[in-house]
């Protein structure tokens, strides 16, 4: 039995600290149901159960991190999702010291019709918000990066700002402040994202602000290839109509 325990310890030693260990991953790596039950059923067990099919190394539950749980979903359960919007800008691309609008919950975009397991919600319920949307019908702009110490799939800056506008949780003033910092966006990536964006509101607001702020990369976008829809969209009830983009919006100079 000591030999089995040592083998299990060696297996767990390879894993990053602060993650969840799923039963499916353990089975794939040679840990039987019987062995798993034996080594997680007592106070001093190698593993501690934190929900159906989920474990942490014994005595390390307090070290469990939300990003570590996401790492397990992505690498062990192969669930397709990415961290986007403000979280990607703040924690993935170094804008943390400039952005002060966001709460502490992670904005996660699910890229497939699949739910997160119950154990994740039970352990991280108040630490994330899940969005099932494909308003950007492309995988362009998704990349793996170090996010809070874990290698996770996140949005690039160009995609993240479009997601931030889409979520509609910030004021126009805050969106404008964010976009003022984005002086080095890549036109090629933006062009693809905008052509594959189904949200007319997002495209119009983004392009309006980009042009207003005179970003150099705006001149390299081909607006004739971007579908801006028909009719007007009301962004601000007290705003004025911008005829070019067909949006009722506050004057940026007055924000």
CA atoms of 99 and 180, how far apart (whole Å): 12
Verify that 34 and 105 share a domain, yes or no. no
Percent of the chain predicted with pLDDT > 70: 91
Q: Report the pLDDT value the prediction gives residue 74, as an integer from 0 to 100.
A: 97
Verify that 76 and 95 share a domain, yes or no. yes
Q: Report the pLDDT value the prediction gives residue 145, as an integer from 0 to 100.
A: 92
Inter-CA distances, 156 with 91, 124, 143, 196, Å: 11, 25, 7, 15
* H/E run at residue 180: helix 172-180
Higher-scoring residue by pLDDT: 158, 125: 158
Q: Report the pLDDT value the prediction gives residue 3, as an integer from 0 to 100.
A: 63
Q: Say if CB 141 and CB 189 are below 8 A apart.
A: yes
Residue in 169, 150, 10 with CA at minimum distance from that of residue 66: 150
Listed residues 64, 86, 104: the one ending a domain: 64
Tell how far CA 89 is from the center of its chain. Answer: 10
Verify that 109 and 228 share a domain, yes or no. yes
Verify that 120 and 59 share a domain, yes or no. no
Considering 47-51, 166-170, 184-188, 239-243, the range whose residues carry the highest mean pLDDT is 184-188
Q: What is the pLDDT of residues 147-205, one digit of tens each?
A: 889 999 999 999 999 999 999 888 888 899 999 999 999 999 999 999 999 999 999 99
Q: What is the pLDDT of residues 68-108, one digit of tens each?
A: 999 999 999 999 999 999 989 887 676 765 455 555 689 99
Verify that 114 and 41 share a domain, yes or no. no
Q: Report the pLDDT value the prediction gives residue 100, as an integer from 0 to 100.
A: 57
* H/E run at residue 235: none
Tell how far CA 194 is from the center of its chain. Answer: 19
CA atoms of 95 and 157, how far apart (whole Å): 10
Verify that 98 and 172 share a domain, yes or no. yes
Q: Report the pLDDT value the prediction gives residue 51, as an integer from 0 to 100.
A: 94
Provide the domain count of the chain.
Answer: 2
* H/E run at residue 163: helix 157-167
Mean pLDDT of the 48-57 span:
92
Verify that 164 and 58 share a domain, yes or no. no
Q: Is the pLDDT of residue 17 over 90?
A: no
Owning domain of residue 182:
68-254
Q: Report the pLDDT value the prediction gives residue 96, as an integer from 0 to 100.
A: 61
Listed residues 22, 39, 64: the one ending a domain: 64
Verify that 8 and 59 share a domain, yes or no. yes
Verify that 224 and 101 share a domain, yes or no. yes
Listed residues 46, 64, 82: the one ending a domain: 64
Verify that 210 and 231 share a domain, yes or no. yes
CA atoms of 203 and 209, how far apart (whole Å): 10
Mean pLDDT of the 103-115 span:
84
Q: Report the pLDDT value the prediction gives residue 110, as an integer from 0 to 100.
A: 93
Verify that 138 and 165 share a domain, yes or no. yes
Verify that 232 and 114 share a domain, yes or no. yes
Considering 102-111, 200-209, 229-238, the range whose residues carry the highest mean pLDDT is 200-209
Tell how far CA 87 is from the center of its chain. Answer: 7
């Amino acid at each position: 039995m000591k030999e089995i325990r040592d083998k299990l310890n060696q297996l767990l030693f390879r894993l990053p600290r602060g993650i969840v260990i799923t039963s499916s991953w353990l089975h794939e790596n040679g840990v039987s149901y019987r062995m798993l039950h034996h080594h997680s059923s007592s106070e001093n067990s190698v593993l501690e159960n934190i929900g159906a099919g989920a474990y942490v190394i014994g005595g390390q539950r307090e070290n469990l991190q939300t990003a570590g749980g996401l790492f397990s979903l992505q690498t062990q359960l192969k669930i397709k999702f990415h961290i986007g919007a403000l979280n990607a800008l703040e924690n993935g691309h170094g804008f943390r010291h400039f952005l002060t609008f966001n709460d502490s919950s992670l904005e996660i975009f699910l890229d497939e019709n699949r739910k997160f397991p119950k154990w994740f919600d039970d352990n991280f319920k108040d630490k994330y918000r899940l969005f099932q949307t494909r308003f950007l019908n492309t995988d362009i702009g998704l990349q793996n990066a170090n996010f809070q110490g874990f290698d996770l799939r996140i949005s690039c800056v160009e995609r993240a700002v479009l997601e931030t506008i889409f979520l509609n949780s910030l004021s126009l003033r805050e969106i404008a402040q964010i976009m003022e910092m984005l002086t080095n966006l890549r036109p090629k990536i933006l062009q693809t994202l905008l052509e594959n964006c189904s949200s007319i509101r997002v495209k119009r607001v983004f392009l309006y602000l980009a042009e207003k702020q005179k970003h150099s990369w705006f001149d390299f976008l081909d607006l004739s290839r971007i579908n801006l829809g028909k009719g007007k969209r009301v962004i601000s009830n007290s705003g004025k109509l911008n005829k070019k983009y067909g949006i009722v919006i506050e004057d940026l100079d007055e924000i």
